[in-house]
Each structure stands twice: as structure tokens, then as C-alpha cells.
Amino acid sequence: MCGIAGLYYPHTPKPVDPARIVGMTDALVHRGPDGSGVWTVPGVGLGHRRLSIIDLATGSQPMQTADGAVVTVFNGEIYNFMEVRADLEALGAQFETHSDTEVLLHGWRAWGPDMLRRLNGMFAFAIYDVAARSLFLARDRFGVKPLHYAELSDGAVAFASELKGLLAHPLVRRAADFHAVEDFLGLGYVPDDACIVAGVKKLPAGHFLLLERGKPVPQPKRWYDLDFTHRAKGKTADLEAELVDLMRRAVQSRMISDVPLGAFLSGGVDSSAVVAMMAEASKAAVKTCTIGFDEADHDETAHAQAIAERFATRHSIRTVAADDFALIDTLVGAFDEPFADASALPTYRVCQLARESVTVALSGDGADESFAGYRRYRFHAAEEKIRGLLPESLREPIFGTLGRLYPKADWAPRPFRAKTTLLALAEGGEFAYPKAVGVTRPDLRDQLYTDGARKALGGHAAEQRYVDAMRNAPARDALDRAQYADFQHWLPGDILTKVDRTSMAVSLEAREPLLDYHLVEFAATLPPALRIRAGQGKWLMKKALEPWLPKEILYRPKMGFVTPVSAWFRKALAEEAAALPRSRFLAQTGWFDLKAIERLAADHRAGRAEHGRTLWQLLMLERSLTRLFG
């Protein structure tokens, strides 16, 4: 696991100052504290920060072929690199190291961009082909590893693993993109097709960018897309066996490491399944770690302890305060862009705990997206069935009228909060689902903006990318479309960004076996009834794991990392919320109606409304914007 950065001049091969590359990689030292390297020739410079995981002796980067014709810098892991290496050796390639990085060099020579389809792993890398004078940038299928790039005023294209690596270059202009602010307030994160710094782009998941000398910078090209159009056939028992076999292979392939390795263990289904299969494959006790909370309503340590005892792991537990908001500024620095998933707080703490004993940790991320584990999938599928009972021309008059008349009751028990559901039923599923997965709803965002800000948006709405993804999804039904859209936006923008930044901030490599593409593609073929049944998400997965895990783990209500932000803004962070309308930076932007923010905070504090998540967003936005542009 590493940090990479570089410069490429597509028009004129200007000399590259190695010190400039060093400056960019030094900003990424947390991603690679074990070593660094720089390689430059006229027109290109590549830099690397190394976190040593595999081939500690000879895996240094930038790495080049023996004849110097191909050079690469690489962030990530290729889990099937030994298989790919064997194929390349059969074609005559001669390897000088035992590193998975060298597979990229020979793979590029043998197959060019088609090499990507042969790789099973998490990665973002750059390959410079000396003879072709081209630079190839690529990112893994689901966006586990990040890559940012920007065109500079001197003609260079700069790239780096994180935004802070780009910002270390003096020609990267620091100006905020208000469209990205809208995206953040709508979704809770800045998605991969946007960036808070105007002019900076992120290479999307499953895409590559081929830069060639003398040619303009092209648009990224998609090399991978998840397909939901096929349906698995066969007996349920056979599908269960196939699922377990794929999970077992995925876990075992991610246990290859030359440094200490462990696992995050929350006590939920996904992390427990990963630990179970690690224990099966390991001769030594698996190292596991859990974060507990000092409030019983948020604490899952008893469930994690039960799994640790069941599989005889070497288990570490650390209890933190549920109001662990002292980390806010640390997270703002780690994420660069505003990020409002408050579960980043405990995720950072569990990464800290893991790093005390291991350098690599396996996580359970990805199964909820693949096997429909989120409650919102069940709601969306049920709503689509109801929508199907009425023609579109009647849905709005009936459900819309009822929704507008029904009182808003954020304070009430969930069964009595029907207003949102009724209004959702009045819309098409592709319009309702993005609001369900989002944070601050469009009408509230509109109230927070000034007239000038609304005009500047020019109709841009955070949810539109979801609408487009669901309409164009390679899918058969509503559940497929929702999951596909989440793979395009929520997974890389929220979940994987959270894990990458928090783990890399403490120099820990996190691996996600449940995002092995063979397993994800298998899940995408499952009929909806095998994903959601009898009110249970991940139905087939849970059924297949019954021989492995106790039913009280498999079928207990999903909890996850819950942070009580609403309570914070009525107590410990109430003054922070009250200070937001007085923010000098927010006032200078001209984007926000500060009186509206003041009312929002006052209504929340008094209990007249529920605005905790929006206040958290505004707080993280203000801190991030001030850090980046203040």
C-alpha cells in the first residue's frame, strides 16, 4: 500500500524538477512511511511513498523493466499476481523481483490496457511507456484506491493518490467548486465525478486514462462495469455452496502478506464471516480488534467478543466515548474534501487500534452493497411494488396529496413517520431512491442557499447522477438499479473513501475481501428473492453462513457504527452549531443564507425539528473549506 504522484507533459517534454515530485509525495508520507523514490526524464516524473507489505527487499518503486523501457508507480495489491506472473513467464517475460508491482510492467508490454481485466485487486497506478512516450493511469473496478489529477497552466497533467498531493504543487489553483458543495450537502460526500477544488478530477472507478505525447488530454475510458442483467439458476443449496467457496477464496487471497496481518471485527455478519474464514485458513490465531462505546445503545463489543471466542482470535478491544468529536480536525485533514459520514470517527479509532499490532487488516465492507443488506433496499423494493399498482398519472395526485397533508414528525417512532414515504411513492423510483440514500433533502438545501447561489447552480442537483445511473443501469428490476447506482456513487464516494483515508492516515493497509469481483459478480446474478426475503437483506449470504456463525449474529438487527450527532448538537456541540452562522468563511462565499442556518440550529437545539445530520454536514463543510481555502 502506498501513495503515488507525478507529472506528465503531453505537449512539450519539459524538464521535471525531482524536488517538485518529492514535495507532492511528501504530502502523502502517511500512505507510505517506509520509503520513497522519484524517477524523472524530460516530460515526465513519477514519485512514490512505500508502505512495505510484499517483497520487502526488492519491491521499491518507481520500478522499471531491466531495459528501462517501462516504468510504474503503484498503489494497492494484485491478489492474483502469481497467476498473472505465470501467464507472463509462459510468454517469455523474465522477472527480477517477487513483487506484484513487476506484473504491471510485463503485463503492459504483453497486453497493454487489456491487462486490467486479468487483475484481481485494489489498485491505482501509473505506467510510463518510454518508446510510446505515453502515460497510462488506471483505477480498480470498484474504486478501493483513489487517484486525483489536474491539468496545470504550464501544460502538465499532475496526479496524486490524494488531493493534498496535488495541492503541494504550486500551480494547482485553489478555488472552490460550488457544484461540489451542492453534491456534498445532498449526498454527504463529494462523489467521484466532482471535486471540491475546481479543475481537479478523480479518475472514476473502473476507468483508465491514456495520455499520449502530442495529443489533447482525453476523457477517461471505462474498462469495467457491473452487470445485473443475468440471473443465476440452480438449487439454493448449490448457490450457497458457490457463495461460500467464493468468499473463502477471496479471504485467502487477501491473507498474503510479509508483514503482520489481522482483521476488524464489529460483531456483525460481514466482519464475523471474514474472521471465520481467516481462522480456517490460518495456523496461528487471527488478530482481531474492536472499538466499543461508553454508551450501551451504540456498543457491539459483546457480539464481537463472542465471535473472537468462537474462533479463538487474539482479540483487542478499546472503548471510546460516543461523543468522540475531538477527532473532527484530524478527519478534516485526512479527507481533504468535506466528508459527513460520522462513522469515520470510530473507523479512524479502530484503524488506530489495529495499527498497534498489524500493518494489514481485512474488513467486511462491500457485502451490504452486493447482497442488498441495507434497509433502504427493502424499502425501495417494497415502494416499487406499490408504485406498480397504480398508473403514473394517479400516483402523484393520490400519494403526493396525502404526503403533503400528512404532518411531518421526525420525533415520532418510525411507523408514524409516513410523510416521507408518501411523498416518495408519488415520484418515480429513480427520483425517490437518491433522496433516501442522501442526507439533506433538496427543499432544505434550497432554503439554505442565497438567490445568487441558486442561480450559480443552474439547475444542478446532487441527486441527478443517481437518476441517470438508475435509468441507464444494466439491470432487470428496481433492486438491481438501486444497487448498481450505489456501486457507481455511494460505495466509492462514501464507504471506500472512508476506509481508505482513515486507514492510510495511520499507515494501515485495509483489504476488502467481500469486494472481490468474482463474489460481487456472483451476487449481481442472484434473483431478488435470494437477496431480500422475509424482511431479511443478504438472505442467501446469511443462509450460507449458518454453519459458520450463530443465528444471534446472523439475524440480529443491523447496527453498524452509529454516532449520535443529533444529541451532540443539542448538548456538547450546541455552541458549534450556533457559531456556524457567524463563520467568516461561510459569509465570504456568498452561498448561504446565514439567517436560515441560524434558524436551523435553533430549531434543532430546541427540539422543534431534527437537523442533526445537516448541522454535521455544515460543520464539516465549514472546517474543510477553511482548511483548503481560508
How far apart, in Å, are the Cα atoms of 349 and each of 290, 326, 344, 360?
Answer: 9, 12, 9, 15
Task: Please give the angle made by the CA atoms of 184, 188 and 190, to the nearest 5 degrees.
Answer: 45
- Per-residue b/e over 319-347, b at no fewer than 16 CB within 10 Å? ebebbbbebbeebbebbbbbbbbbebbbb
Q: Where are the beta strands (DSSP E) in 152-224?
A: 157-160, 200-202, 207-212, 221-222
Q: Which of the following is catalytic: 2, 195, 289, 351? A: 2
DSSP state of 200: E
**Direct distance between the N- and C-terminal alpha carbons of the chain, in angstroms, rounded to an integer:** 32
| Cβ-proximal residues to 391 (8 Å cutoff; 6+ apart), any chain | none
Q: Hey, what's the cell of 320?
A: 471510546
Q: Hey, what's the cell of 200?
A: 481537479
Is 195 labeled as catalytic in the residue annotation? Answer: no
How far apart, in Å, are the Cα atoms of 552 and each of 306, 444, 531?
Answer: 10, 40, 19
Residue pair 252/281 in contact (Cβ under 8 Å)? The answer is yes
| Sign (positive or negative) of CA dihedral 334, 339, 342, 343 | negative
The Cα–Cα gap between 500 and 497 comes to: 5
DSSP state letters, 25-89: HHTTGGG-BTEEEEEEETTEEEEEEE---S-TTT--SSEE-TTSSEEEEEEEEETTHHHHHHHHH
| Cβ-proximal residues to 265 (8 Å cutoff; 6+ apart), any chain | 271, 272, 275, 288, 289, 290, 304, 307, 308, 313, 315
Give the catalytic positions in this structure: 2
